[in-house]
Structure 1
Amino acid sequence: MASPGPVVPPEAIPPRSVNPPPEPEMTALVVEIDRSEEDLVCGLLWSLDTLGVLIGDRPEPTDTRLRVTAYFPDAGSARPAAEQLDRLGLRSELHGVDPYEYSDRWRLHARTHTAGSGIVIHPPWETPDADPSRQLVLEIEPGRAFGSGSHPTTRLCLRLLERHLPSLVGDPRVLDVGTGTGILAVAAARLGAGSVVVTETDSELRATWELNAEQNRVADRIGPGDTDLSTHAGRYDLVMANLLLPTLRELSDDLVRLTTDQGRLIVSGVLLNQVDELLDLLGELVPVQILREDGWAALCLAPGHG
């Protein structure tokens, strides 16, 4: 789940994203929980479409209380989460938040992460201790988007990508649905994809994924596609979708249809107790590999292959 961020002095805040945050006031939901409830509460918040979850610092290893802050576009979208927490006996508070404050706080928690056997992801303001001759080093500007490499679902997708993309023949054609920062698209291009089509419903994030493609020298192989998947011509050797279950429900038929007969579909954004439903939704495909981390799951599926 979301991990506690470092204590960073104000002067260390990195420059703001290339994306201007939205003007309307956002809403922060704040709740204090026991450390044993972290996976349950964070999983609930992610399932209710929070923009991001931050865990307060743990000053002492023996401290069993945590402060969890979840950000939502507005108070209306935060209230269902507050009501769900209330049913669990957890009292939360809602506060208005300046979008610029949210953007800067989110960036403070972006730091170097590793995924798979040899992928290192770092923000532009950190210099990773990595060997580019042996490791795939990706510089990812997080902007205000999901996909800095810090969340388990991103790391799980990268592990599956590292494992299964090289097994595809030729110059694989890849589709990244809901690209966010473009981290999966960039990784796919660096791992050998011939071309990567990305879709993203938030038009403000285009500057972020384009910047990341440029910074990682793969801009010539990554381009935008229509967010309406029904309009896509042809099929893809690899389809990726790191999205929450409600969105995967809506897109499941298209995700199956767009995967070639010898291709692979990588999906994540689901909790462990949601895997069976996801498999039912993607019934024409069978799992090749399932990975799990901190209560989350990621699946690689293929048509007709066990």
Structure 2
Amino acid sequence: MKWVEICIHTSQQAVDPVSNILYEAGSSGVVIEDPEVLTREWTDQYGEIYDLSPSDYPETGVYVKGYLPETVFLPDTVEQIREAVDHLVEYEIDVQPNQIYVGEVKEEDWATAWKKYYKPVRVTDSLVISPTWEEVDKSNPNEVLIELDPGMAFGTGTHPTTVLCLRALEGIVKTGDTVLDVGTGSGVLSIAAAKWGASRVLALDLDDVAVRSARENVELNQVESRVEVRQNNLVQSIQGQYDVIVANILAEIVLKLIDDATQLMKPNGFLVLSGIIKKKQEVVEQALLKAGLTINEVLVEEDWVAIIAQK
């Protein structure tokens, strides 16, 4: 079978929604080539560090690459991808340079070469995320390990917005807590909450691909007895009260969620919101205060913020 690489040259801000567009178009995984990694300080505590070539990365912006089988429907699919990316500007997401390149790739090259992009990463003081094929030291009882298969879809849990959520959850999830994860994606936040002691986690996502991916990852990490993954539109028709609610989604969607989420929070419960670009921070904070919540902490990573609010 011949495969085609769809490369979208876009902004850092648009990486998550553009990746999701490629998943919905049928790509089983994406590669993100961000020149930021060329200046990042790497640790060799986990995995092997590869020499990175600047020629593989854009001078500005980010390459987001997806892979689709070459079929007669491919031109229509590419056009649908283009229209979906253009549509992101309606959510005030900067998609520039917004250029799409299409090229052929040999299946045998893609089958193994993409794995070099994924190595174990320490995300917080106690949390390591690793692809399933890597050997990781599991002897430290104080260290939490989450294993993901990046080929399943919805990333590896190391995007800045996800990292912010994980750092926030590490500080607030207690043994026995109930957690609601809205827009779960890969399920990594739910898995982490369960491994940090949550007694029950409900993970929600509207996208059926995300639901399947999250369920597979939950089973892979052996927390299916405490994590339920359900297809759902935000928190519509959800009942009960939760100690912690977390949502790593776009600010525009966050604003629609806050009032309903507040009703589902226990007294003194926490609401963790991420996926918020800095220029949207103030409007989200105002909505939280209007809902009667207290803003406890704001975490910042690159151009993204996560807000921890309490009832």
TM-score (norm. length: structure 1): 0.73
Q: 1:95 aligns to what?
A: 102
Mapped to 2, the partners of 1:291 and 1:65 lie a distance apart of 28
Structure 1 residue 65 displacement after superposition = 2.4
Mapped to 2, the partners of 1:300 and 1:138 lie a distance apart of 23
Mapped to 2, the partners of 1:85 and 1:262 lie a distance apart of 33
Structure 1 residue 95 displacement after superposition = 3.2
Stretches of structure 1 lacking an aligned partner (at least 5 in a row): 1-24, 32-40
Structure 1 residue 30 displacement after superposition = 2.7
Mapped to 1, the partners of 2:209 and 2:310 lie a distance apart of 33
Q: Deviations over 1:98-125 (max 9, x none)?
A: 9x99998876533311122110010101
Out of 15, 33, 54, the residue aligned to residue 54 of structure 1 is 33
AA aligned to 2:8 is L
Give the secondary-structure state (helix, strand or coil) at the position aligned to 2:150. coil
Give the secondary-structure state (helix, strand or coil) at the position aligned to 1:121. strand
Query: For the structure 1 residues 289 and 106, does the alpha-carbon distance in structure 2 shift closer, same or farther, using more than 3 Å as the test?
Result: farther
Mapped to 1, the partners of 2:148 and 2:309 lie a distance apart of 27
Out of 190, 198, 201, the residue aligned to residue 193 of structure 1 is 198
Q: 1:21 aligns to what?
A: none
Q: 1:280 aligns to what?
A: 286
Stretches of structure 2 lacking an aligned partner (at least 5 in a row): 21-29, 39-51, 67-79
Structure 1 residue 78 displacement after superposition = 2.4
Within 5 A, what are the aligned runs for 1:161-240? 161-166=169-174, 171-225=176-230, 227-228=232-233, 229-240=235-246
Query: For the structure 1 residues 130 and 297, does the alpha-carbon distance in structure 2 shift closer, same or farther, using more than 3 Å as the test?
Result: farther
Out of 270, 274, 285, the residue aligned to residue 276 of structure 2 is 270
Mapped to 1, the partners of 2:221 and 2:94 lie a distance apart of 45
**Paired residues of 1:119 and 1:135 also in contact (CA < 8 A):** yes
TM-score (norm. length: structure 2): 0.72
Structure 1 residue 143 displacement after superposition = 3.6
AA aligned to 1:280 is Q
**Paired residues of 2:211 and 2:230 also in contact (CA < 8 A):** no
Mapped to 1, the partners of 2:59 and 2:214 lie a distance apart of 36
Structure 1 residue 81 displacement after superposition = 6.5
**Paired residues of 1:85 and 1:91 also in contact (CA < 8 A):** no
Q: Deviations over 1:241-272 (max 9, x none)?
A: 01111221232222222221121111101112
AA aligned to 2:12 is C
Structure 1 residue 275 displacement after superposition = 1.1
**Paired residues of 1:141 and 1:208 also in contact (CA < 8 A):** no
Query: For the structure 1 residues 107 and 268, does the alpha-carbon distance in structure 2 shift closer, same or farther, using more than 3 Å as the test?
Result: farther
- Indicate whether 1:253 and 2:223 are aligned: no
Percent identity over the alignment?
26
Mapped to 1, the partners of 2:104 and 2:113 lie a distance apart of 11
